[in-house]
Amino acid sequence: MLLSKIAKELGLSFDGEDIEITGIHTLSEAGSVQISFFDNARYKDQLSQTRAAAVLCEERYALLLPKETRVLITDEPYLKLALASKLFAYNISTKTSTPSLGKNCDIDKSVVFGRNVVIGDDVIILANCYIGDDVTIKAGTLLHANVSIYHHCEVGQNCILHSGAVIGSDGFGFAHTKDGRHVKIYQNGNVIIGDDVEIGANCAIDRAVFGTTYIREGVKMDNLIQIGHNCDIGAYSLFAGQAGIAGSTKVGRNAVFGGQSATSGHLNIGDFVQVAGKSGVTKSLEGGKTYAGFPAVEHKEWLKNQAKLSSLLKKFKS
């Protein structure tokens, strides 16, 4: 879509050199045929380094962009991003076609396939699963009944997905108008699941806004796990029931999350971190340590705090 047309659709003025735009991405990841946006001061340093063809931003930040980057001036860049995302949303349809099947597959007749699906050798897919357009499922993977894999997602070798798991559902993303309405940000990325991953019943792995949500090799998830959009879950990490990771959080390898523990978004969780059950992680965590409580602190500190609180309560009672 021409940049001039995008600007017109968004109600913005544009007088520069026109260019064909293929999609939207972040300031750091956008290429020379993509548009981006700036709405958060924490990413200010990325303005001068972006390779985006054009950027939605307030006028006061325009001079920080590279000379070759076109500027779409708006006082609501995040809202305009939401509106632009719809222009590049995938066209969902009910059309089906026969998948490309590997050897020795066992697939129930009730399974529904979208278009351009590729299935590896020895894959087993049980009743009432849905496999969307352009999905790849690699060799030796097992899908239990009622698994849904949305379009353009990828599942690695020797994975197990239990009943009710949903891979590639929309991330929870909305921009807000000045009068309080919520405008959907269309989730135009995908999910890639590595080899030897097991995902429990009724887990939800959200697709990325743009780019990819990653579940790396060897990750094991209990039932009822929520992974937000654009997360990157490190290899061999473990998640007990009802744990949740908010969007754009990166989890290192061999992390362990206890039941009902959760993180805020946009955090970095180090390698070999352990998070106790029911803990709430609000800040990035250094690797190789155990954390507990809300907000989560190192486990030893949490135990000391609990002891002090107990001692105070005893004094008040006496």
Q: Which residues are catalytic?
A: 229
Question: What is the dihedral sign for C-alpha 237, 238, 241, 243?
Answer: negative
What does 205-260 look like in DSSP terms, one character per residue? EEPPSSSEEEE-TT-EE-SS-EE-TT-EEPTT-EE-TT-EE-TT-EE-TT-EE-TT
Name residue 20's amino acid.
Answer: E
Distance (Å, rounded) from C-alpha 298 to C-alpha 265? 20
SS (H, E, C) 6-59: HHHHHCCCCCCCCCECCEECCCCCCCCCEEEECCCHHHHHHHHHCCCCEEEECH
For the record, the structure tokens of 250 come out as 């990166």
CB neighbourhood size of 70 (10 A)? 19
For the record, the structure tokens of 85 come out as 């995302």
CB neighbourhood size of 298 (10 A)? 15
Residue pair 174/195 in contact (Cβ under 8 Å)? The answer is no
